Amino acid sequence: MIALNNRALFITICLAPTFTLGDLPETVIDKDALNKPCNVNSIVQEDILVCFSKSYLLAQKELNNNYSIAQKQKNVNIRNYLIHQQRQWNKNKFDECLILPEKEVGREGIFEYLQCATDAILKRNSYLKEIYVCGNEPCQFEEPYFFQTIGHDKD
C-alpha cells in the first residue's frame, strides 16, 4: 500500500504541470495532513508535502470559517456584494501561482506553488477579517459608509 501511495504521489508530482492550476492544490496535497505530524527537519518529499499540505488546509479551514461568518451580514446589499466578490476571487485566486516543470526547478516547484496558494488564501483571510469579520460576528456598519470605505460602488 505504501508503494502504491508513493507511486501515486510521484505520478501526481510529475504530471502536476499539466493539471489546471485552479484545482491543483487539492490534487496534490495530502488530504490527511491535519492528522499527521509535520516533520520540519525532514528531507523526505512525503514529509515535506505533509507540512505544506497542513499549512494549506489550515488556511483553507480558516477561510471557510471567515466566509461563513461574513455571509451572516444582515445588510442584503453588503452581503450580495460579498458573495459576488468572493465568486470573482474564487475564479482567479491562484492565477499568480505558477508551477514550473520539475526539470527546471526540481521537486521544489510543487512546494513553491503550494506556498503561493496558501499565501493567496491567507491574504484573503486577512481581507475578510479586516472588512467583514469582527470577532466571531459579521461586522455591522451603515451601507453608504461601507461602500465609501472599500472604495467601490454597488454593482
DSSP the chain: -HHHHHHHHHHHHHHGGGS-GGGHHHHHS-TTGGGS---TT---HHHHHHHHHHHHHHHHHHHHHHHHHHTT-S-HHHHHHHHHHHHHHHHHTTTT-----HHHHTTHHHHHHHHHHHHHHHHHHHHHHHHTEETTEE----HHHHHHHHT----
Give 31-56 pLDDT, tens digit per residue.
999 999 999 899 998 999 999 999 99
Question: Residue 19's pLDDT band (boundaries 50, 70, 90)?
Answer: very low
The pTM (predicted TM-score) of the whole model is 0.75
Lowest mean pLDDT among 70-74, 84-88, 143-147, 148-152: 148-152
Q: What are the sequence ranges of the domains in the chain? A: 2-150
Give 84-106 pLDDT, tens digit per residue.
999 999 999 998 887 766 666 67
Amino acid letter at 35? N
